[in-house]
């Protein structure tokens, strides 16, 4: 999960000017690229779950959203948005396009590696995944273009540097990123259907089938996890579940609550949104992970606010107060990380 900071030429306004709008000068372009144990991945034994593979392969092959992302659809922004709201919307678009494009690059790389290793069926499978992410990224890039902002995606791909992670880490984190992506899109979609006056851009009309793509991607990764039963067994399975759930939830809380402007623009309370996304993603993960966090006592969710507060205090403190604030922040992180988990009945093979 390397964050590759890229620089100015990757993004510019289409008028050809070099100077960027102030809200895009921040380092938004931080795609994540990983590389993994491709040789081990090529040994994936699909005979462990042949029916699961066939079913999800057929679903991906059906390409339900082939015609959904209408290339001619108007993505023009509504003129009623104030300049500050437009800036918030554009920052969201840039972060999203980078994240979708990173997914495309990763899946494409995995697809190529599988094909080279003679695993044509898995190569084709990941080609379906990369097809969807390319479509998502392309659609967002079009929305940005209608804002007069051009993101040079192919160039961004060339600049990437990847960091190595074990296969199990990649599968756990991919599963979560797809499922949390699903919940984020579907919850925004539900909110905007109930509050149509808040749907400030036509882009949001496309969210529902879009989120079903992410949901299917999560199911694809779950199928692969089932083909590696050792990853979800015993202490290792528990630690991997704990680490990835906690990391993804913490990152979500810090990102959503610290950059709450976008959610407020849509009339969504970022704290409540973050909480709902975490609850739902934790629940969904019961289908794939051997352990998930226990939320019934409310401790995990309550601690998000304490952590956020400690994080802000640490960031704003100076001098001798800084290490004290950092210690408090870290101790809260450790406390939340160690909160009780519960075993799931995720179906396993082997």
Q: Residues interacting with Fe ion, by CB under 5 A?
A: 100, 133, 136, 178, 214, 217
Q: Considering beta carbons, is residue 96 or 253 the nearer one to Fe ion?
A: 96
CB of 133 to Fe ion, least distance (A): 5
Which is nearer to Fe ion, 153 or 308 (by Cβ)? 153
**Cβ at position 65, least distance to Fe ion in Å:** 11
Distance separating alpha carbons of residues 226 and 289, to the nearest angstrom? 10
Separation between Cα atoms, residue 176 and residue 284, nearest integer Å: 9
Query: CB 211 → Fe ion: shortest distance, Å?
Result: 9
Residue closer to Fe ion (CB basis): 214 or 219: 214
Instruction: Report the sign of the C-alpha dihedral through residues 212, 35, 274, 269, in that order.
Output: negative
The rounded distance, in Å, linking the Cα atoms of 341 and 243 is 12
Which of residues 32 and 217 has its CB atom nearest to Fe ion in the complex?
A: 217
Long-range contacts of 197-201, Cβ-Cβ distance < 8 Å, separation of 24 or more: 198/265, 198/266, 198/267, 199/266, 200/77, 200/78, 200/80, 200/81, 200/85, 200/89, 200/265, 200/266, 201/75, 201/77, 201/78, 201/89, 201/143
| Minimum gap (Å) between residue 19 Cβ and Fe ion | 31
CB 60 within 8 A of CB 220: yes
- 140 vs 332, which CB is nearer to Fe ion? 140
> C-beta of 218: minimal distance to Fe ion in Å?
8
For Fe ion, the closer CB: 52 or 100:
100
CA distance 182 to 178: 6
Q: Compute the least distance from the CB of residue 338 to Fe ion, in Å.
A: 31
């Amino acid at each position: 999960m390397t964050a590759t900071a890229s620089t100015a030429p990757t993004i510019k306004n289409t008028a050809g000017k070099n100077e960027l709008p102030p809200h895009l000068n921040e380092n938004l372009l931080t795609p994540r690229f990983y590389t993994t144990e491709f040789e081990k991945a090529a040994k994936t034994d699909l005979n462990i779950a042949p029916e699961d593979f066939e079913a999800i392969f057929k679903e991906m092959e059906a390409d339900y959203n082939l015609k959904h992302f209408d290339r001619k659809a108007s993505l023009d922004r509504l003129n009623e948005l104030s300049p500050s709201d437009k800036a918030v919307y554009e920052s969201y678009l840039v972060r999203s396009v980078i994240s979708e494009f990173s997914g495309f690059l990763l899946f494409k790389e995995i697809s190529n590696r599988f094909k080279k290793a003679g695993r044509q069926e898995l190569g084709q499978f990941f080609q379906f995944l990369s097809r969807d992410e390319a479509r998502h990224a392309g659609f967002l890039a079009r929305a940005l273009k209608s804002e007069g902002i051009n993101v040079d995606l192919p160039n961004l791909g060339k600049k990437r540097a990847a960091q190595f992670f074990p296969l199990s880490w990649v599968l756990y984190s991919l599963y979560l990123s797809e499922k949390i992506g699903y919940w984020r899109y579907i919850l925004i979609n539900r909110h905007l259907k109930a509050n149509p006056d808040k749907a400030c851009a036509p882009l949001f009309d496309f969210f529902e089938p879009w989120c079903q793509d992410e949901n299917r991607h999560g199911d694809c990764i779950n199928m692969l996890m089932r083909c590696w039963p050792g990853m979800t067994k015993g202490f290792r399975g528990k630690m991997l579940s704990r680490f990835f759930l906690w990391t993804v939830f913490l990152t979500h809380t810090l990102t959503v609550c610290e950059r709450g402007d976008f959610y407020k623009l849509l009339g969504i309370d970022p704290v409540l949104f973050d909480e709902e996304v975490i609850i739902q993603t934790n629940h969904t993960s019961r289908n794939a992970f051997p352990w998930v966090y226990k939320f019934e006592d409310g401790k995990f969710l309550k601690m998000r606010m304490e952590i956020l507060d400690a994080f802000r205090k640490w960031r704003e403190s100076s001098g001798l107060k800084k290490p004290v604030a950092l210690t408090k922040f870290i101790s809260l992180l450790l406390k939340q990380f160690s909160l009780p988990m519960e075993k799931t009945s995720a179906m396993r093979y082997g």
